[in-house]
Amino acid sequence: MQKIPVHVFPTRADAATQLALETASLIKDNEAKGKHTVLGLATGDTPVPYYKELIKWHQERGLSFATVTCFNLDEYTGLCRDHPQSYWQFMHNQLFQHIDILPENIHMPSGTVAEADIPAHCHAYEQAILDAGGLDMQILGIGRTGHIGFNEPGSPIDSRTRAVSLDPVTREDAARTFGGLAQVPTSAITMGCGTILSAKRIVLMAWGNSKADIINQALNGSVNSSVSASYLQRHPNTDFYIDAAAASALS
Ligand code: GLP
């Protein structure tokens, strides 16, 4: 018995189609009620097929994102918005520049806040989420350390947006895109586990064999701080959308 509903799709494109359909329905339902939709978004390779589907919804089916407010999970410390590896760039390239979201409705932690100002910046980020009405839907990938956002092992279940040190495994995984380990930042600002768990709906996606072991731990292991994604077992409305390879370690 899985504690979290798991949907195993033949391909990641099939999973992305399903999740984009759910997102489009949410946006349209809220819009009909005169309400904004607040999305929590993720970076990494995992959500790219989903972003492609959302772009299709906009370009081919007329879905408007004018009533959508987005909050991204995290950003690397020390990277300015123009840096090619910044999550700001990633989100604009993969999604924002292809849809009609209003620039003022795009929120991401800043990588260039002075160290002394980071606590105030993080507090303001949490407040902005609350002011927007809270996260309607949070999209997640998962790191090989079990992180969600950049909540590395040891992150408390009630943690909030804050600066964190990156795990060596996470930095190693990022080395390819940065052109070498030395170029990978050592820290980041991330929404906390508590911030993520406050979302009304959460969908975690994972593809490929490299995620199979951590997916099994997150779903079937005890809820504990060594695998932040295990905290999702405590959330009443979380689903995992995974492909057959990511499901290969599940019994
Ligand atoms: C980064 C992001 C996470 C993401 C993870 C997995 O660490 N901060 O939000 O889930 O990468 O990356 P990928 O989707 O490329 O496997």
3-state secondary structure of 178: helix
Q: Is 191 in the pocket of ligand 1 (CB under 6 A)?
A: no
Give the CA radius of gyration of the chain.
17
Q: What is the pLDDT of residues 195-237, one digit of tens each?
A: 999 999 999 999 999 999 999 999 999 999 999 999 999 999 9
Contact between residue 238 and residue 232 where contact means Cβ atoms under 8 Å apart: yes
> What band does 1 get if pLDDT is binned at 50, 70 and 90?
very low
Q: Of all protein residues, whose CA lies closest to atom 5 belonging to ligand 1?
A: 143
Assess whether pLDDT exceeds 90 at residue 188: yes
Report the percent of the chain where pLDDT is more than 70: 99
96-133, pLDDT tens digit by residue? 999 999 999 999 999 999 999 999 999 999 999 999 99
Q: Which residue has the tokens 């997640």?
A: 140
> pTM of this prediction?
0.97
Distance from C-alpha of 36 to C-alpha of 105, rounded to nearest angstrom: 10
Cβ–ligand 1 distance for 45 under 6 Å, the answer yes
| Lookup result for tokens 């100002």 | 117
Q: Residue 150 Cα, ligand 1 centroid: separation in angstroms?
A: 8
With a cut of 50, say whether residue 146 has pLDDT above it. yes
Residue 251 confidence (pLDDT)? 78
Report the alpha-carbon distance of residue 37 to residue 111 in Å, rounded. 25
Of the candidate CATH numbers 3.40.50.1360, 3.30.470.20, 2.60.40.1220, 3.30.450.20, the domain formed by 6-243 belongs to: 3.40.50.1360
Query: What is the three-class DSSP state of 242?
Result: strand
| H/E run at residue 187 | strand 187-190
- Polymer length in residues for the chain: 251
CA 97–ligand 1 middle distance (angstroms)? 21
User: How large is the average pLDDT for residues 79-98?
Assistant: 97
pLDDT at 69 over 50: yes
The minimum-distance atom of ligand 1 relative to the CA of 190 is 8
The SS3 of residue 30 is helix
Q: How much is the mean pLDDT over the chain?
A: 97
**How are beta strands 187-190 and 74-76 bridged, if at all?**
antiparallel
Nearest to 229 by CA among 45, 73, 94, 53: 73
Ligand 1 atom nearest the C-alpha of 207 is 16
Cβ(110)–Cβ(189) below 8 Å: yes
Query: If you average pLDDT over residues 21-38, what whole number do you get?
Result: 98
Ligand 1 centroid–CA 149 distance in Å is 7
pLDDT band of 242, cuts 50, 70, 90: very high
Does residue 142's CB lie within 6 angstroms of at least one atom of ligand 1?
Answer: yes
208: left (phi over 0), alpha (psi -120 to 50) or beta: left
172 pLDDT more than 60: yes
Query: What does the angle CA 136 – CA 16 – CA 158 come to, to the nearest 5 degrees?
Result: 40
Q: Using the predicted structure, report yes or no on whether residue 141 has a pLDDT greater than 60.
A: yes
DSSP for 127-177? HHHHHTTS-SEEEE---TT--STT--TT--TT--SEEEEPPHHHHHHHHHH
Decide: 71 in ligand 1 pocket, CB within 6 A: no
The answer to whether the CB of 46 is under 6 A from ligand 1 is: yes
Mean pLDDT across 6-24: 97
